[in-house]
Amino acid sequence: MKKITVAIDGHSSCGKSTMAKDLARKISYIYVDTGAMYRAVTLYALRNGIIAEDGAIDNDGLQKSLEDIHITFQLNAETGKPDTYLNGERVEDEIRGMEVSSHVSDIAAIPFVREDMVRQQQAMGKDKGLVMDGRDIGTVVFPDAELKVFVTARAEVRAERRYKELLGKGEEADYEEILKNVQERDYIDSHREVAPLRPADDALILDNSELTIPEQNEWLYEKYLEKVKGGKGKKVKK
């Protein structure tokens, strides 16, 4: 069966990574969470005083630091999913917190950051057999990807999912704060000057507001089969 590139884009907290990880595991493809890469850069910036308390970013300091930021992924034997490592340190949990979430869209909007991350991402996918999710995978990173999907859901639904996820990890969470963050990130991601968030012209649109995780995973797997086999999969209830 031929190998393809699967590009999954969409809004924050809409389940992109869950879908992508499940598909990659099921079809034995490499999975790359590009959002985690930008989150890791954000975490580095926070730790090293590149982001001030008022949110201002030292662009010169960040640009000089990029060569010292090394992001890798390692498979977690217990979860069966890849964890994010920043300069050899596992940061998978820390990059998912609200502090990083509050600044990541601003970091990701910086042109030289996106240029560096896109270069790394394209190198990862040169041999295909890859599932990658993010904000500009189908429009910028892999415009020739065989399967492009744009995932969305109502902001309130996404905030509720994020709220429950944080509570499940034993972290403090405020629904209204999370909803505000989701809405602010939507605006920044969609209005940034470089590679704004938008569906590729040939992307399949999935609103998963009313779908369960198994339903959305089945939908994506069927779309994958259609691409690699040239046939049509069964329809999934929406």
The pLDDT tens digits along the chain (238 residues) read 789 999 999 998 898 989 999 999 999 998 998 999 999 999 999 999 999 999 999 999 999 999 999 999 888 888 878 899 999 999 999 999 989 999 999 999 999 999 999 999 999 898 899 999 998 999 999 999 999 999 999 999 999 999 998 899 888 899 999 999 999 999 999 998 888 899 999 999 999 999 999 999 999 999 999 999 875 544 444 4
Closest among 202, 79, 69, 185 to 135, alpha carbons compared: 185
| C-alpha span between 195 and 108 (Å, rounded) | 10
Structure tokens at 6: 């699967």
Q: Give the pTM.
A: 0.79
Facing residues of 205 across strands? 150
Closest among 150, 129, 126, 141 to 37, alpha carbons compared: 141
User: Which residues have CB under 8 Å from 147's CB, separation 6+?
Assistant: 4, 5, 6, 7, 204, 223, 224, 227
**Alpha helices, H only, the chain:** 16-27, 34-47, 59-65, 98-108, 111-124, 155-168, 175-191, 213-229
| C-alpha span between 27 and 23 (Å, rounded) | 6
